[in-house]
Structure 1
Amino acid sequence: MLKKPDGKHAHSYVPELADKFVKGEVDRREFLRTATLLGVSASAAYAFAGRATGQSLIPEAAAETPKKGGILRFAMEVQEITDPATYDWTQKSNVSRWMVEYLTRTKPDNVTVPYLAESWEASDDLKTWTFKLRKGVKWSNGDDFNADDVVYNFKRWLDPKIGSSNLSLFSGLTETVETTNDAGETVKQQRMREGAVEKVDSHTVRLHLSTPNLSIPENLYNYPTGIVHRKFDEMGGDLSKNPIGTGPYELAAFSVGEEAKLVRRTDPHGYWGDEPYLDGIHYIDTGSDRSAMMAAIASDQVDGIFEVDVTQLDVVERMPGVTIHSVNTARTGICRMQVDKKPFDDPRVREAVTVSLDHQKLLELGYRGRGVTAENHHVGPMHPEYAEIPWRKQDHEKAKQLLKEAGYPDGIDIQIDVGQTQGPWELATVQAMKEQLAPSGINLKINTMPAAQYWEIWTTTPFGLTSWTHRPLGVMVLNLAYRSGQAWNESNYANPEFDKALDEANGILDPNERRKKMEEVEAILQGDHVISQPFWRSQYVATRDYVKGFATHPTQYHQFQNVWLDK
């Protein structure tokens, strides 16, 4: 059942994984996720899990017959969509994902399935990944989608001049070289290794990694990995001005800060996949103030809103004809300290900050208890490789002693920058932190600023609260945010011991063994007191009751393929 048509297993570890699942040594979530990452089809993995447990895991058919037609109106910030490789907001990808598609797709249950890649295989050591691409896919300009497109995208992602965060996700395809910057200084830089990405034939691409990595298929659905046309740069390098794609919709209107209209493709080449039910999607920008979103859905100006702020849940719950969709996520606020800037270059100061805080109270005061407490290592119970390392109890006396040893016997003044980029909960959280830090002799000044201004300084401010989105694996965000020298490493953390342990965790197949290694990874990050991470946030989305087939995605990715309107 878990074999390919040629009778072979997708990967040599699959039989052992299946045996561990049957014996109860691996849970259903980890079995499904690992099996599909190793190339087992989702249908085969679900069917096997159903037979093993005696419960059908294949979704039942919809009770209602979907209707085709209609325009879905959704309130969401409409941001620039120039270059998918450089996206830093999920909202950007939600507009463009209907035009430029991905090689894989991670569903709301965190199981990754084929998309533009129809299948893949991994070598036993997880260093070689072979992707078979779909045939018969046409770009909206009539060109055939093929391996040249995929190779081109990898070259762009791993070109330091592009500035894509994908450099961190696919570091196994890169090498570090010395180069000279504009100031004439010698600096180290990552770039793609020669031969790292191979075109096997017109519809087969092979990746040659220097280190093993199980999460490659999941990385390919990270929001900056949308596949653009192989002549994207030649055609101007701006998707909003030249929106050529393989997706089911085309861009009919676009204005930053106002709207984005997508309608069914009208080119003669047609869409390769199953046609969505909706005739189109209309994103309406109501601004970053979530109250405006609430007003829009209450007055029936929109059919759904991107996010319900936790402070307004009570209001939305009382709205007639509105459904709230909730999901536990790995979305979080990270209060990170730059380890190379005073006073945070002294680990005793960082530890004094972290031990002064009560995470449970911060969750209650900052997010109304709608989430779970975190442990200062950016891996949580929603991640399959999570190892529990409880955070210490609040200890003001310990904090005072640490500050005295660091040369601050009379306390210390510090400032945190807050942009409220994801809602007023950010300010509420740091205000609660200020009160908890005071008994330790830490005077916290809160510098609030517009969201756009915060994103201009988020990688340079010595102390700031940054909202990070959900990712299905803990190692994904660790590779992005804490690996030495990466573009999104906002704390400037650089610990070779951490990097080495993370590399090892990336390549361990056995879920239980990987969890043991992750305990080491988490302990290193937690012990270096790089971040204060009070809690993980639950996510809330609202739609009108006539919106059918909607499922909220933990990463806020819009997957409206099965959405239809009953009105």
Structure 2
Amino acid sequence: MASDLTRKRALEKVHPALPSLQSGMERGEVSRREFLRTATLLGAGATAAYAMTGLPQPAAAASGEAKAGGTLRVAMRVREIADPALLNSVTQSNQARHILEYLTKTGTDNVTRPYLAESWSTSEDLKTWTFNLRRNVRWSNGDRFIAEDVAANVRRWLDPEVGSANIGLFSAMTEEIETGRTDDSGTPVTRTRMTEGAIEILDEHTIRFNLNRAELALPENFYNYACCLAHRNFDEMGGNLAQAPVGTGPFELVALEPSARQILRRRADYWQTPALLDEVQYIDLGDDPAATLSALVSDQVDLAYENDVNQLEILKRQASLQVFEALTAQTGVARMQVTQAPFNDRRVRQAIAACMDHEALLRVALRGLGAPAENHHVCPIHPEYFQLPALKQDYARARALLAEAGHSDGLRLPIDVASSTGQWELNAVLALKQQLEPAGIVLEPNPLPAAKFWDVWLKTPFGFTPWTHRPLGVMVLNLAYRSGVPWNESKYSNPDFDAALSEASGILDPAARTAAMEQVQHILQDDAVIAQPLWRSVLSAGNARVQGYDMHPTQYHDFTRTWLS
């Protein structure tokens, strides 16, 4: 009894909710995986949390036989990396993440651990978060890493003039204020700003965030790919990472040639144990998956960022290669801008959704490697996912909705699509085109080069956009569908959805949070903002000599302990 009381008191010191959370796990009401994730978010160390669950902690890559030296050549698109707050792809973040680092780090096991932060704690109501920063971190120019570095980055993210998508993740630290102007319809115009007192520097190595509402996922949000931390004087240094690559990371930038290559060299003065590799080279082979496959087979590169799923059997037959595979919450959405005709009529959007056979779309686009989606952008592997009734293809309903909307003669709809993450994107759109035809909807795919697509993805009335994995459904919903956020490509704005999302984001109890997600998912699905065919498995291949590398479900690269045998 005494040991139980001691344990309870120890857990309460971390957070008052932990004892009841553990009791729920012991009663079978909370899964061990969900306890593990939640306990670490509340500030419990990963080692202690794993011990409480009885689950084995993932083994670190073996280092006893590891050898230092060598150059890792990686096939991946290479782009400009000017402002870290404006990174808009995982590949860009991989270019930057060896130079810049993050406050936290979410591993392949979905557990978020300290990184530049040494630890964190939160109030009982999840509105006050305190992060304790590591004291031994130095920037590559010799400056010490301090709380003002974190504060300066968050201020930039929450400044609408900067245009960072991170403002959606950290909207609990913002407020809307009236400008005194009205739009053409007489509606008052507001603007977003950071709430006064949202950031509080307690000392050089302690920073506190004061939120307007409860938010459980704040530590996870800090590992979103555009949340890498630049120097506090980033703007004064010119505001361009490629031109002034000052970072805390394990590598330094040697060369950057967009659409060609990027070279990174190991930092001997890195604040942790230096990386094993001498260099990492990113080599841009374009969008053609055949070029990546050829480079792997002919030993021109050691690792691919991603391989096309249609290459899986070929890759497995290559004795010199190893294949990495992960089921993820990566997806693609045929999203409609609800401010543009004919998509401003919900019945048109619902008619498109009613034509979909998600299982068939998965088979055609990805040979079944993944899972069917449900048009609400929350994946079954997300811990807060709520299972709604299965969607069924219904052409009678689709035709009736179109007739009600005044399109009984059908519709012709151009859609912009690229193959920025593989041929599956165009394949999915072509399969959707076939499924829409019986309802009288003629889909007209407009294939674009990846670079051109990313120039228009926020502007086109109808586009098929690939979205990467996030460990939480609420993270991607905050980024993509909350009113007014920069990456709200569909221009969707629904106060009921925003309110339901805010409520779900702040619920600590796993079962209650999942229950709250029913309304969130239902609203988005019923409003038919997206026609979302699938969740996809991702795969990449590398030479067998590549050691100490694990594929992250978001395809984040961490080569700190990677080595070549």
Query: Secondary structure of 1:335's partner?
Result: strand
The residue type equivalent to 2:91 in the other structure is Q
Q: Which residue of 1 aligns with 2:176?
A: 176
Per the TM alignment, residue 430 of structure 1 is displaced from its structure 2 partner at its CA by 1.1
Write the deviation string for residues 224-261 of structure 1: whole angstroms up to 9, x where unpaired: 11111111110111111111111111112221111111
Shift of 1:320: 2.5
Which residue of structure 2 aligns with residue 93 of structure 1?
93
Q: CA deviation at 1:311?
A: 2.1
Distance 1:176 1:329 in 2: 35
Residues 122-521 of structure 1: matches in 2 within 5 Å?
122-179=122-179, 187-266=189-268, 270-521=269-520
The residue identity in structure 1 corresponding to 2:470 is R
Residues 5 and 397 from structure 1, CA distance in 2 versus in 1: closer, same or farther, beyond 3 angstroms?
closer
Structure 1 residue identity aligned to 2:42? L
Deviation by residue 1:78-136 (Cα, 9 ceiling, x = unmatched): 11111110000111111211111100001011110000000000111111000000002
1:22 and 2:26 aligned: yes
Helix, strand or coil: the match of 2:280? strand
Secondary structure of the residue aligned to 1:526 is helix
Partner AA of 2:496 in structure 1: E
The whole-number CA distance in structure 2 between the counterparts of 1:332 and 1:272 is 36
Q: 1:36 aligned to 33, 40, 43, which one?
A: 40
Match of 1:526 in 2: 525
Structure 2 Cα separation of the partners of residues 32 and 211 of structure 1: 24
Q: How does 1:58-77 map to 2 (within 5 A)?
A: 58-59=58-59, 62=62, 65-77=65-77
Q: What is the CA distance between 1:442 and its match in structure 2?
A: 1.1
| Matched residue count | 558
Shift of 1:3: 7.4
Name the SS for the 1:85 alignment partner. Answer: helix
Secondary structure in structure 1 of the residue aligned to 2:378? coil
Opposite residue 108 of structure 1, the aligned amino acid is T
8 Å Cα contact 1:47/1:58 also seen in 2: no
The DSSP-based 3-state class of the residue aligned with 2:109 is coil
1:116 maps to 116
Q: In structure 1, what is the Cα distance between the partners aligned to 2:516 and 2:79?
A: 39
Shift of 1:217: 0.4
Q: Distance in 2 between matches of 1:344 and 1:248?
A: 47
| Aligned CA distance change for structure 1 residues 137 and 4 (closer, same or farther; 3 Å) | farther
- Segment drifting more, 119-128 vs 19-28: 19-28
**In 2, distance between residues paired with 1:380 and 1:39?**
26
Instruction: Give the aligned partner of residue 53 of structure 2.
Output: 49
Residues 3 and 9, structure 1, Cα contact 8 Å, conserved in 2: no
Matched-pair contact (CA < 8 Å) for 1:375–1:390: no
Please state whether the residue corresponding to 1:541 is helix, strand or coil. Answer: strand
* Contact 2:372/2:534, CA 8 A, preserved across alignment: yes
1:484/1:213 CA distance change after superposition, 3 Å: same
Higher alpha-carbon deviation: 283-292 or 520-529: 283-292
Q: Secondary structure of 1:9's partner?
A: helix
Moved more, 450-459 or 465-474: 450-459
Helix, strand or coil for the counterpart of 1:282?
Answer: strand
> Structure 1 counterpart of 2:528, which letter?
H
SS of 1:325's equivalent in the other structure is: strand
CA distance in 1, matches of 2:282, 2:523: 43
**Counterpart in 1 of 2:535?**
536
- Give me the whole-angstrom Cα distance separating, in 1, the residues matched to 2:8 and 2:77: 43
Which amino acid letter does the alignment assign opposite residue 250 of structure 1? Answer: E
Aligned 8 A contact 2:8 2:19 in 1: no
Cα-to-partner distance string for 1:446-505 (whole Å, 9 max, x where unaligned): 111211111121112111100000000000000011111111111111111111110100
Alpha-carbon offset, residue 64 of structure 1: 6.3
SS of residue paired to 1:207 = strand
8 Å CA contact 1:262, 1:281 repeated in 2: yes
In 1, Cα distance between equivalents of 2:174 and 2:130: 18
Distance apart, 1:194 and its partner CA: 1.6
The worse-fitting range, judged by mean Cα deviation, of 336-345 and 313-322 is 313-322
Output the amino acid matched with 1:374. A
1:158 Cα shift? 0.8
8 A Cα contact 1:71 1:282, kept in partner: yes
SS in structure 1 of the partner of residue 13 of structure 2: coil
Contact 2:480-2:488 at 8 Å conserved across structures: yes
- Percentage of matched positions with identical amino acids: 52
Q: Deviations over 1:523-559 (max 9, x none)?
A: 1111111111111010101111111121100111002
Partner amino acid, structure 1, of 2:311: Q
- CA distance change for structure 1 residues 243 and 531 in 2, over 3 Å: closer, same or farther? same
CA distance in 2, matches of 1:83, 1:56: 39
> The residue matched to 2:14 in structure 1 has which SS?
coil
Matched position secondary structure for 1:486: coil
| Structure 2: distance between partners of 1:560 and 1:382 | 26
Task: Name the Cα RMSD after superposition.
Answer: 2.0
Alignment correspondent of 2:17: 13
Cα 1:61–1:240 change in 2 (3 A) is closer
Q: One-letter code of the match for 1:262?
A: L
Determine the C-alpha separation between the residues in 1 that align with 2:399 and 2:136. Answer: 67
Q: How far is 1:315 from its partner?
A: 2.2
C-alpha contact 1:249 1:263 (8 A) present in aligned 2: yes
Whether the aligned pair in 1 keeps the contact of 2:61 and 2:561 (CA below 8 Å) is: no
Confirm or deny: 8 A CA contact 1:104 1:217 kept in the other structure.
yes
Task: Provide the C-alpha distance between the structure 2 equivalents of 1:7 and 1:384, rounded to a whole number of angstroms.
Answer: 22
> Secondary structure at the residue paired with 1:476?
helix
Say if 1:325 and 1:552, in contact at 8 Å, map to a contact too.
yes
Q: TM-score, normalising length from structure 1?
A: 0.95
Counterpart AA for 1:273: Q
Q: Which AA in structure 1 matches 2:18?
A: V
Amino acid at match of 1:426: E
Mapped to 2, the partners of 1:45 and 1:366 lie a distance apart of: 39
Letter in 2 for 1:236: G
Please give the alpha-carbon distance, in whole angstroms, between the structure 1 residues aligned to 2:11 and 2:137. 28
* Residue 158 to residue 345, structure 1, CA distance change in 2 (3 Å): same
Q: Secondary structure at the match of 2:419?
A: coil
Which moves more between the two structures, 285-294 or 530-539? 285-294
Asked whether the 8 Å contact 1:84–1:224 carries over to 2, the reply is yes
The CA distance in 1 between the partners of 2:12 and 2:346, in whole Å, is: 52
C-alpha distance in structure 1 between counterparts of 2:311 and 2:64, whole Å: 31
SS at match of 2:219: helix
Q: Is this contact kept in 1: 2:254–2:265, CA < 8 A?
A: yes
SS at match of 2:91: helix
1:304, 1:544 within 8 Å by CA — same for their partners in 2? Answer: yes
Output the CA distance in 2 between the equivalents of 1:260 and 1:9. Answer: 46
82-91 or 251-260, larger mean C-alpha shift: 251-260
User: In structure 2, how many angstroms separate the alpha carbons of the residues matched to 1:61 and 1:322?
Assistant: 19
**Structure 2, gaps ≥5 residues long:** none
- Bigger drift between 390-399 and 184-193 goes to 184-193
The whole-number CA distance in structure 2 between the counterparts of 1:448 and 1:58 is 42
Q: Note the residue ranges of structure 1 that are not aligned, 5 or more in a row.
A: none
Cα distance change of structure 1 residues 61 and 221 upon mapping to structure 2, 3 Å threshold: closer
Displacement of 1:60 after TM fit?
A: 7.0
What CA distance in whole angstroms lies between the structure 2 residues aligned with 1:419 and 1:156? 31
* Equivalent in the alignment of 2:103: 103
Q: Shift of residue 4 of structure 1?
A: 12
